[in-house]
Homo-oligomer: A and B are copies of this chain.
Amino acid sequence: MKVGIVGATGYGGLELIRFLHNHKAVERIDLFTSSEEGVIFSSKFGHLVHIADTPLQKIDYGALEKFDVVFTSTPSGVTSELLPPLVGKGPKLIDLSGDFRLKDPASYEAWYGKKAAPLEVIQQSVYGLTEWNAEHVQQASLIANPGCYPTAVLLSLLPLLKEQLIDPSFLVIDAKSGISGAGNKPSQTTHFSEANESFSIYKTNTHQHIPEIEQAISMFAGVETTISFNTHLVPMSRGILSTSYAPVMPGVTEKRLVSCLQNTYEKHPFVRIVTDANSLGTNHVKGSNYCDILVKVDSRTNRATIVGVIDNLVKGAAGQAIQNMNVQFDLPQTTGLDVVPFFI
């Protein structure tokens, strides 16, 4: 399998390289960028010396068409223009940006503040939440790989919403992310001395992943809801943990919620249902494609606390993208992704 990566210099791109390097079906990886043509990749990223000593290539449709898969890991607003001419041309397209996730172009333009991709292309794209959409993923020409927050939130909430075990009318989702989620471009917010040893909230009530989550809840659980959703910056590099709160439906027990999750994900290798909160934390999934989920019912309030934990760069980006690729090429989902979390 020949793979092209557009936007290789971003953290999503680097993680793609990290996993594809050990993917037995991948024989060649080419790296593309909008600038720095000809630069030897490992001269920019010392950790890749001996691993990716190839030159960055100019983005070129002729070249891209020849790959089996093209991953695009670019800022929003890039692939909406770049990818449409490639759809259906040969390579499977897996887009890690937000450009094809929202089915409603108006919604995209409102939340992202950028021009949406052409409607017909958006309609062809398939939302790549692998555990919930593998059938469509397999057939898709263009996959909209889910956002990092939505992945943690949806995997933990969808089963309970779909089986109507929790009440969608008061759903509060409080999410926290490591700083790599902000990408590789330096800014005051991500400047070490100011980000280190500080915890903060950002984009209060206005994060662009809100419509993505609501759309997927509608799509996969058949429930229309308006969520409270906030995001926080944790002084660490990797990891997302989302804590969600929802009233439990009458008569539903904690045990029932746990079984619902266990049954849903029984055959899914990357989702683990955790029952001991002490075994839950972002370090338990670090570097891996796992999503760990915990649910507890607070008997005082009769509300459920549902926690989803992922590595934002893996299950929340590159790992899930490769999982989707595996589905498309009829490989076991774990191919190239069967790694042990880092822990320390």
Contact = CB atoms under 8 A, between A and B. Distances in A.
Contacts of A120: none
Contact of A245 (B172, B178, B280, B344): B172
Interface in A28-74: 43, 45-51
A38 B268 CA distance: 28
A197 interface: yes
Interface of A: 11, 14, 17-18, 21-22, 43, 45-51, 170, 172, 174, 176, 178-180, 182, 184-205, 210, 226-228, 230, 232, 234-239, 241, 243, 245, 269, 272, 274, 276-288, 290, 292, 294, 296, 298, 300-301, 303, 305, 307, 313, 338-344
The 3 closest A-B pairs by CB, nearest first: A46-B279, A200-B281, A198-B283
A195 B195 CA distance: 11
Contact of A284 (B46, B188, B239, B245): B46
Given A197-B237, A237-B197, A285-B47, A18 B191 contact: no
Contacts of A226: 300-301
A228 B297 CA distance: 11
Contact of A344 (B11, B243, B274, B296): B11
B287 A287 contact: yes
A178 B199 CA distance: 9
A196 B205 contact: no
A94 B58 CA distance: 49
Given A18-B340, A193-B344, A200-B280, 17 more contacts: A11-B193, A17-B340, A22-B340, A46-B279, A49-B272, A170-B170, A172-B172, A172-B303, A185-B191, A191-B192, A198-B286, A199-B241, A199-B282, A200-B241, A200-B277, A210-B300, A232-B243
Nearest to A296: B204
Contact of A47 (B187, B210, B269, B343): B343
Contacts of A284: 46-47, 198
